[in-house]
Amino acid sequence: MDSFPPPPPPPPSGPVLLPFSSDSPLPSLPWPDLIAGAAGATLRLVSAHSRHFLALSCLLLLPLSLLLLSLPAPFPGASPSVSLRSPQDSWSTPLLLLALVAALLYLAAFAAVAASAHAGFFGRPVKLLASLRSVPASVLRLLLTALPASPLLLIPLLPLPAEISTGIALLGVALLVPFWSLAGAAAIVESTAGPSPLRQSCRLLSGARLAALSAFLVFAAGIGVVLWGFSGVAMETYDAATGWAGMAPVVVKAMVGTAVLAAMMLYGIVINVVLYMHCRAIHGELTGEIYNEFASSYVYLTFDEGKDRHIVSVVTLWP
């Protein structure tokens, strides 16, 4: 009786690891897929270290959110805004000081959260004290890196209506996002400052500018809506004679707005770091870093010598 060879096994339905060398062309990824992958990785990263990021949020992002919601917002229909351009206005100096404190708090929060997100991206243990100890040096690097964009901070001081100056500032930031939005993550992860993170961001975002702009617009719109709906809680008044019934709406508004704003800023910072890492992977820059990170987890045999060890691409075979 003739024997027939067994049929070939069906193609696997899961991911298949295909090695590629450094000479092979880099894979191209459409920007919607890049955004979807970064968003999924961000959710998994925050969920895996939820208590750590909650502690950072309580220490840095919640005070920043409450401070931002206490300031008058220059949005139509929001709480009455106070002009920063009138030297006779008694509010001008306190508001400028509060804005400076808010900027420093955001830089400190970005530094701590970015350092933790980078460690968690590689599966390293994230430690609260280590993240906080890295804040002073990281804030200094962020300040030096942000110097080229500092003229945008002077736009609110122009003799223009608050709505127009705010719109001009947001437009300027939106124009810089497709080029410099990863500079902060590069400054934290690579421990560099000045023009080097800006050049790195511009190079990494080549081919991913729409992804960076989309992520910025989503979070900027969400934060803007929260500031428009919940801003000015410190200036709201209530009838003390009504007791808790009159104070409860103000307290609930402050709590809900602060929590939502802190969560949006947290996820915005983490997705920025994750997008930075994904762009580095697309450009083939994580090969040596991942190899050094996990080299101790593998045993190499004698016949492995001379083989080219590179990062692998994950390819999903669809049926």
pLDDT band at 239; cut points 50, 70, 90: low
Residue 200 CA to residue 184 CA, distance in Å, equals 10
Helix intervals (H) in the chain: 31-48, 50-56, 62-70, 92-121, 128-133, 135-145, 162-180, 183-189, 195-204, 209-230, 244-282, 287-294
Q: Say which amino acid occupies 25.
A: P
pLDDT of 88 above 50: no
Summarize pLDDT for 153-208 with one digit per residue, the tens. 777 677 777 778 778 888 888 899 999 999 999 999 999 998 999 999 999 998 89
Partner residues linked to 18 by β-bridges? 313
Residue 119 makes CB contacts below 8 A (sequence gap 6+) with 125, 126
**Taking residues 276-294, what's their average pLDDT?**
77
Q: Using pLDDT thresholds of 50, 70 and 90, give the confidence band for residue 313.
A: very low
Mean pLDDT computed over every residue of the chain = 78
Cα distance between residue 121 and residue 123, in whole Å:
6
Angle at 185 between CA 180 and CA 191, to 5 degrees: 115
Categorize the per-residue pLDDT at 268 as very low, low, confident or very high, splitting at 50, 70 and 90.
very high
Write down the pLDDT at residue 248.
77
Residue 22: pLDDT band with limits 50, 70, 90: very low
pLDDT of 44 > 80? The answer is: yes
Per-residue model confidence (pLDDT) at position 170: 82
Q: What is the pLDDT of residue 172?
A: 87
For the entire predicted model, the pTM comes to 0.78
What confidence score (pLDDT) does residue 203 get? 94
Taking phi first (over 0 means left), then psi (-120 to 50 degrees means alpha), and beta for anything else, what does residue 306 get? left
Report pLDDT digits (tens) over 91-132. 567 777 888 899 999 999 999 999 999 999 988 889 999 999
Using CA atoms, how far residue 217 sits from 78, 181, 213, 236, in Å, is 21, 12, 6, 30
Q: Which of 10-14, 236-240, 241-245, 261-265 has the highest mean pLDDT?
A: 261-265
**The two structure tokens encoding residue 185:** 């993550």
Give burial (CB, 10 Å; 0-12/13-18/19+) of 141.
buried
Closest CA to 253 of 267, 268, 234, 240: 234
Gap between the Cα atoms of 281 and 261, Å rounded = 30
Residue whose C-alpha is closest to residue 188's, from 129, 125, 258, 110: 110
Per residue, the 3-state secondary structure of 55-73, as one string, reads HHHHHHHHHHHHHHHHCCC
CA 198 to chain CA centroid, Å, is 16
**In terms of Cα–Cα distance, which of 27, 118, 24 is closest to 310?**
24
Alpha carbons 66 and 64: distance in angstroms, whole number: 6
Identify the band that residue 291 occupies on the pLDDT scale cut at 50, 70 and 90: low
Give the model's pLDDT for residue 274: 95
Instruction: Identify the H or E element spanning 145.
Output: helix 135-145
Give Dmax over CA atoms of the chain in angstroms: 105
Q: CA 284, CA 57: separation in Å to the nearest integer?
A: 33
The pLDDT value given to residue 200: 94
pLDDT reading at 275 higher than 70: yes
Between vectors from CA 84 to CA 93 and to CA 234, what angle results, nearest 5°?
75
